[in-house]
Structure 1
Amino acid sequence: MLKKAMVWVVLVAVGGGLGWLVYRRLTAPKSAAGARRPGGAVPVELEPVGRATLRNVERLTGTLRARAEFVVAPKIPGRLEKLLVNVGDPVKPGQLLALLDAAEHEEAVAQAKAELAVAQANAEQVRLGATLEDEELAQKAAQAKAEWAVAQANADQVRLGAALEDAELVQKLAQAQAELGSARANLEDARAALTVAQREFERAQALREKKILSQAEYDTADAQFKAARAKQEAAGALVAQKEAAVRSAQVRLSDTQKGAREAELRHATALAQQKEAAYKTALVRLSETQKGARAAELALARAQVANKEAALKAAVVRLAYTQIKAPAGGDGQGAQVVGERFVDEGAMLKANDAIVSVLDISALKALVYVAERDYAKVRVGQDVAVTTDGVPGRTFAGEVVRVAPMLRESSRQALVEIEVPNPERLLRPGMFIRAEIELERHADATAVPRDAIVKRNGQQGVFVAEGAPEPKAAFVPITPGIEDKGLVEVLNPPKALAGAAVVTLGHHLLEDGSAILLPEGKDDLTQREQRQQRKGKEAAVPPKSQIGNRKSEMK
């Protein structure tokens, strides 16, 4: 109890002393200022309103992860005979990493080869027995086919002899038909000539009755008409004669085709059909033999061969599984390294037991979380500056490659994945990193110091010094924008800020229209504004990855 009382006494004494010092600090300037500011003017400090390039930079923290990470494990159980890599060793695609005891699997491959040889020999024996029987049936089928060919040739010969005789009769018939056509053409010519002669005769007869035509001319027309009629009658008789000749040739041809030669042709054709039927019967017997029990036996032997081939392939694959290799991937130039080692040589492993882990560090993934208010401003392709305590003094360039399509309900944050190239292999998975993502950049923006912004009547604004020789403070409402390293952007800046100076110290005592006292006087203020403007004009615009101090950004 006594100790507690002593502690409380000491604490009260210390608190009283600190309060007294604060009181003295607050009251001393007021008395001094009272001596300098007649009429209750408030001493203040000013800084000019300037223009600067401001950035809205989101600063995030996160962790580096390997671009790809996988665990090397066996596909079959066995004893780990040899481990060829260790932690930190580079790994190339397809590199042999470990060996399992392969004696059992080598024996399985040899046994599978022997069983395949037996199955192949059995299938060959069945095939040879089937071949001998097939050859006998095939010989009978070939003999039947030859007899069919002979009968077919005989039938063709008989048909050819008949065709030759028929050709002669057909030729005579064609000649008779040609002569008939010529006679009919002459008949048509005679009819045309008779028509012309008849018209001439009738015209001569009419002229004779009118005593215009002489008797001699009339007799000539009459004679020509009678001659044309006689010629037509002769042509008609010739046509009838030729038609009779055509009919006679047709009858002779028909009678020849229906005679004994037709019976001989039918006999030859029937014999050819008989031989054809015998040949088809031999083929059916051969086909049925091949499709019978012997065919089933041959199919079984072939299936056994296929089964043994599959068993051999499986044994070879399982033997290959005893050689554990790195999968394809990475850049093939040491980008993959062994991250962890989980077992030692001689260990008995089950299938999928981890042996080592392999990391691809040619590029790393930085995983950070962005808040809900800035989620919409983060986009794929944005540049990112990454730093880490593990590599002090270095800034690594990265790029946003993925933005999660959802936010975590518990934290209202979304995962952002940044890819960071790692050509020098300085970065390592698991490092803590800081990432800066530039969300916005406003060039040549109107900016005021953060210390100049105050709130009056629920509205943000700044106090502007105006009037001379007795300056006063005028409250100018503003809409703040981007804030960057002590400067705040003024959106839609009012005209009152153009070329003005704002109060940065002492504004807590000011109201709109309050009198102010400048430590150096108005002339000194004007000179200070000019100095600030000259410094702003000489200052360079900061690069995209940096922000200068307030004076270097002021114009």
Structure 2
Amino acid sequence: MSTRARIAPFLIVLVILLAGGTVWWVGQIPRSGYSSPDAATDQNPRRVAVEAVPVTTGTIRDVRSFTGTLEPGQAFTLAPKTGGQVERIHVDIGDRVRKGQVVAELADAESRQAVAEAEAMLGVARAELNQARADARLAERELERTRRLAGRDMASASALDTAEAEAQAQEAAVEVARARVKQREAALARARVQLGYMTIRANWPDGDATRVVGQRMVNPGDSVGASEPLLSVLRIAPLTAVIQVPERDYARLTEGQNATLTSRALPGRTFDAAISRIAPRFSPDSRRARVEVRAPNPDRALKPGMFVNVRVIVGEAEDATLIPAEALVRRREEPGVYRIRAHSPATVEFVPVTPGIRNGDRIQIRAPQDLSGRVVTLGQQMLEDGAPVTVAELPES
């Protein structure tokens, strides 16, 4: 037997083994996404395990969140109108002050002495005025007597002229004395004003009757100049939260719009607020606009300088169709959901949707409005239209 005849049977066996291995290997390839005529007749198709939840209806709000810092409703600095040495300070940081309350005093010995001197000078001026008035009356009587004598040719014309001149002079002296009294009165008033400057009071034009000391800049014994700050006084009810709003949210905000504030410093508490002012321009650097949110802060729990989170409701939908956020997927760039068909076995269908408001883990579905049933929330990456599924039973929450 030739060599070729001996090798031929081995080649035939080898080809048969290779063909059988190829058929076995092809049979092991997953058929996800592939459907054959034979698969349609398979009595036990491969099912994908998924989780699904029912579509619900309810109210959903479009809430925008911003961060900001609280600023006092009003803040001003108390300072003396004249220089001097601080003698007493009656308040400290955190103290409440009443409108008109004395909060500090400067040493006033010199000012009191100036008032005393002004009062004395005024007394002298008034005495001089009284003397001038008496001299004027005397000169007037002398003039009348000289006129009567001149009428009987018992006084010369020169004597009459002299009497008239003296009366006029004394009347002028009265006017001078009266002006000097007014001058001394003004000097006394000025001295008293200067003395008043030694007492610093907390005064503000309007607002609540009490405010809070935010900062103290001096101590008793310090020498201060005119207009040098002594204390800062704050109005903390209400407060203003300042936020920076990007362009995409700017048009959704309006003055008077309700808002809520929260702060890490006060966990578990929410404070009512409202937008009070919206800047008409954007910062060229940040492309954001300043928005002020007014918080009444009746119990004064919020403090200036606190970092806060501001939430503003810019939209609301009632009786909206709602799905969990994880149910929304994209198929060929089109948003949609996989809905469970109530067949046996259960299958899924892809339903294109138009999403609306998103709030946390819920999304509004604007279209189709009649979306109902259950939608898949886990396992979508293994699905296609008509795929058989096994829906896992979720524990009740």
TM-score (normalised: structure 1): 0.55
Q: Does 1:352 align with 2:227?
A: yes
Alpha-carbon distance in 2 for matches of 1:461, 1:379: 33
Q: Which structure 2 residues correspond to residues 114-263 of structure 1 after superposition, within 5 A?
A: 114-134=120-140
User: Who is 1:440 aligned against?
Assistant: 315
Q: Secondary structure at the match of 1:443?
A: strand
Q: Which amino acid aligns with 2:255?
A: V
User: Who is 2:183 aligned against?
Assistant: 307
Q: Which amino acid aligns with 2:214?
A: G
User: Who is 2:389 aligned against?
Assistant: 518
User: Who is 1:99 aligned against?
Assistant: 105
Distance 1:125 1:508, change over 3 A: same
Q: Secondary structure at the match of 1:64?
A: strand
Alpha-carbon distance in 2 for matches of 1:96, 1:457: 75
Displacement of 1:470 in angstroms is 6.3
Distance 1:499 1:479, change over 3 A: closer
User: Who is 2:296 aligned against?
Assistant: 421
Alpha-carbon distance in 2 for matches of 1:321, 1:387: 43
The range that moved more, 441-450 or 318-327, is: 441-450
Q: Which amino acid aligns with 1:481?
A: G
Q: Secondary structure at the match of 2:121?
A: helix
Q: Which amino acid aligns with 2:257?
A: Q
Alpha-carbon distance in 2 for matches of 1:134, 1:344: 64
Displacement of 1:431 in angstroms is 1.8
Alpha-carbon distance in 1 for matches of 2:82, 2:276: 38
Q: Which structure 2 residues correspond to residues 4-43 of structure 1 after superposition, within 5 A?
A: none
The range that moved more, 76-85 or 116-125, is: 116-125
User: Who is 1:363 aligned against?
Assistant: 238
Alpha-carbon distance in 1 for matches of 2:202, 2:298: 21
Determine if contact 1:86/1:341 at 8 Å carries over to the other structure: yes
Determine if contact 1:43/1:516 at 8 Å carries over to the other structure: no
In the TM superposition, what whole-angstrom CA distance separates every residue of 1:123-179 from its partner, at most 9, and x where no partner exists? 33334444445567789999xxxxxxxxxxxxxxxxxxxxxxxxxxxxxxxxxxxxx
Displacement of 1:397 in angstroms is 2.4
Aligned equivalent of 1:502, options 355, 375, 378: 375
User: Who is 1:538 aligned against?
Assistant: none
Displacement of 1:405 in angstroms is 3.2
Determine if contact 1:53/1:445 at 8 Å carries over to the other structure: yes
User: Who is 1:459 aligned against?
Assistant: 334
Determine if contact 2:321/2:365 at 8 Å carries over to the other structure: yes
Distance 1:138 1:489, change over 3 A: farther
Q: Does 1:476 align with 2:387?
A: no
User: Who is 1:378 aligned against?
Assistant: 253
User: Who is 1:406 aligned against?
Assistant: 281
Alpha-carbon distance in 2 for matches of 1:53, 1:361: 35
Alpha-carbon distance in 2 for matches of 1:448, 1:293: 106
- Residue identity over aligned pairs, in percent, reads 38
Q: Which amino acid aligns with 1:316?
A: R
User: Who is 2:192 aligned against?
Assistant: 316
* Number of equivalences: 347
Gaps of 5+ in 1: 1-29, 143-284, 536-550
The range that moved more, 49-58 or 290-299, is: 290-299
The range that moved more, 88-97 or 453-462, is: 453-462
User: Who is 2:4 aligned against?
Assistant: none
User: Who is 1:56 aligned against?
Assistant: 62
Determine if contact 1:465/1:503 at 8 Å carries over to the other structure: yes
Alpha-carbon distance in 1 for matches of 2:168, 2:285: 75
TM-score (normalised: structure 2): 0.74
Q: Which amino acid aligns with 1:419?
A: R
CA RMSD of aligned residues (A): 3.8
The range that moved more, 130-139 or 361-370, is: 130-139
User: Who is 1:20 aligned against?
Assistant: none
The range that moved more, 386-395 or 341-350, is: 386-395
Displacement of 1:47 in angstroms is 3.0
Q: Secondary structure at the match of 1:519?
A: strand
The structure with the greater share of residues assigned to strand is 2
Larger radius of gyration: 1
Distance 1:130 1:422, change over 3 A: same
Alpha-carbon distance in 2 for matches of 1:141, 1:477: 123
Q: Secondary structure at the match of 1:316?
A: helix
Aligned equivalent of 1:486, options 361, 368, 372: 361
